[in-house]
Structure 1
Amino acid sequence: MGMSKNTIGIVGLGRMGNGMAQSLLREGFNVFGTDIGETQRQAAKEIGVNVVADIKALCAESSVIILSLPMAKHVQAVIKGDGGIIDHAQPKTLIIDTSTSEPEVTRALSIELDQLGHQLLDCPVSGGPAGAEAGTMVMVVGGERSALERAQLYLDALSSKVVYMGQSGNGHAAKLINNLLCAAHLVTTAEAIALGTKAGLNPEDLIAGLNAGSGRSAISEVNFPRWILNQSFNSGFTMELMRKDVRLAKNMIGEMGLELPLAQQVAEIWSQSEANIPDQDDFNCIVKNAGLGE
């Protein structure tokens, strides 16, 4: 069994999982991985990942496992489904969940894993595939501090900044709030640029002006120059995933009994976009609702 601190497993070898594997390999870690997709498995093999057949084989190699999965249901299946991590984990396994998942699901899984002697950290990430490959992601982390201390050497290889949020699930809550803000900034910035264009301003000049003033945001500083103004729309994050995150943030608002009208309107705009922007389109395509990028 691979109990070395230099060995780590990854479940989910898509663009994010592959990027994280690259960063870990570059830092000298021995990386094992598994994925249900043959294309993803082959791509991981080509960069030096030890690709194994299933979760059972992965658990045999490492007691530290990163999850890079689309949704909470996939995280639940990998952890507690038939043939999942709980069935095959080494003693005191540490699971680092980098997915953008649901806080309450995470808290329930953390309790169940703790009762079995394992630990779960929710470590959702920002920075996209490029950040994963460069090891410059930002992580907001929930879980026991002892688990964070144990995970720190792996997180250092993956991220430029780690912000501890407290108890289990808090990392995922913070990430959903972040993505709600990101979704709002995309909508409002697109409308601002549409207004400026109608008023006769050059979009590139207007973005430069906004970025020199108090109206700037990560959306105006990064997304517009990199993916929107040039109409590349290839950030690696889909409309489907952002709609999911906005929906989960809206659910949080309801669960807290809050009246947040702007957030509710943003959620409605993203929900309605399903009618005219396909799931697999880049999430920046939401700006097309304001007449941009077409």
Structure 2
Amino acid sequence: MTNVGVIGLGNMGAGMALSAARAGLKVTGFDPATTSRQALLDAGVALVDDIAALSAQADVIVLSLPTSDIVEKVVLGEGGLLAQARAGQIVLDTSTADPASTARIAQALQGSPLRLVDGPVSGGPKAAHSGAMTMLLGGEAADIDTLAPVLEALTAKRVHVGPVGAGHSAKLFNNLLCGINLIAAGEAIRVAKAAGLDVEQILKGVNAGSGRSGVTEVNCPTWILNDAFNSGFTMKLMRKDLRLAAAMIEQSGAGAPLSREALRLWADSAASVDDAEDFNRIVAYEERP
């Protein structure tokens, strides 16, 4: 499994292609809209003009695509990966996707030569370019073992969370909790400032106790307190992920009042926090009674 194809060469996909090439894997890429063409060519990534050409050369096909609809078209559509499939090929979908869509794809692939592993990622473009992403994997253990050379090249940490679709579900839970924690941290920061307290020192105290989170430990010092807001992940992307999380909650029928309120705040913030802004800007959104 050293012949890798990457479909979707945006910030994340291009970074993964470069990391795979740097690890000595043979990499082919496809994305008619890529802006990283020369950097990829310089790194030895072969760029092709269609899915068929990529599929013919790749044993592992990494997807880094913006929506589940596009993933379904790439895998199941006319001229898609299923139509080109060879025995032993594995699709590794790193997109943050709708688990219901992943289930439909998995059902359609049953009995075909094509196997599916969902592996949504965290860490942003910087981690993609450095091969240091975290990946949440859903799929058969044997398929994940087969992917080892590719996973070693792309990730610093990976967790097998269950069958196909579980990776995408876990990523939505992660982003839901991150969204809730950002809103909570924003409120804590506002209250601390209003009380005349040193916010940085207060957060050091929080991070020494049970109230800490990835937001207080990483997001606040890296992108929020210094006004950098340059994580590389936009409000638009986070809102998309949270809409998927909202759909997952609705489908489950489980009670989730705190999640629903946080999701409402994220949706309502669109009137004052533009989609193009860094997703950490939600900490500044304040809804007054």
TM-score between the two structures when normalised by the length of structure 1: 0.93
Amino acid at match of 1:96: L
2:210 to 214, 217, 221: 214
Cα distance, 1:38 vs structure 2: 4.1
8 Å Cα contact 1:63/1:89 also seen in 2: no
Percent identical: 46
- Distance in 2, matches of 1:253 and 1:62, equals 36
- Number of residues paired by the alignment? 287
Residues 129-155 of structure 1: CA deviation (Å, up to 9, x unaligned): 111122221111111122111112211
Aligned pairs for 1:47-126 within 5 A: 47-126=43-122
- Which stretch of the first structure deviates more once superposed, 210-219 or 173-182? 210-219
Cα distance, 1:213 vs structure 2: 2.1
Aligned pairs for 1:25-40 within 5 A: 25-40=21-36
- Which stretch of the first structure deviates more once superposed, 39-48 or 145-154? 39-48
Residues 46-84 of structure 1: CA deviation (Å, up to 9, x unaligned): 433211111111111112100011110111111112222
- Distance in 2, matches of 1:42 and 1:76, equals 29
1:96 partner SS: strand
Aligned pairs for 1:224-235 within 5 A: 224-235=220-231
Aligned match of 1:8:
4
1:39 partner SS: coil
Aligned match of 2:135:
139
- Distance in 1, matches of 2:56 and 2:37, equals 18
1:270 partner SS: helix
- Distance in 1, matches of 2:279 and 2:142, equals 36
8 Å Cα contact 2:134/2:158 also seen in 1: yes
Aligned pairs for 1:242-261 within 5 A: 242-261=238-257
**Structure 2 gap segments, 5+ residues each:** none
**Structure 1 gap segments, 5+ residues each:** none
1:115 partner SS: coil
1:240 to 225, 230, 236: 236
- Distance in 2, matches of 1:116 and 1:143, equals 16
8 Å Cα contact 1:139/1:163 also seen in 2: yes
1:237 partner SS: coil
1:234 partner SS: coil
Cα distance, 1:112 vs structure 2: 1.4
1:65 partner SS: strand
- Which stretch of the first structure deviates more once superposed, 160-169 or 94-103? 160-169
CA RMSD of aligned residues (A): 1.5
Residues 186-244 of structure 1: CA deviation (Å, up to 9, x unaligned): 00011101100100012222222222222211111111111111212111111111111
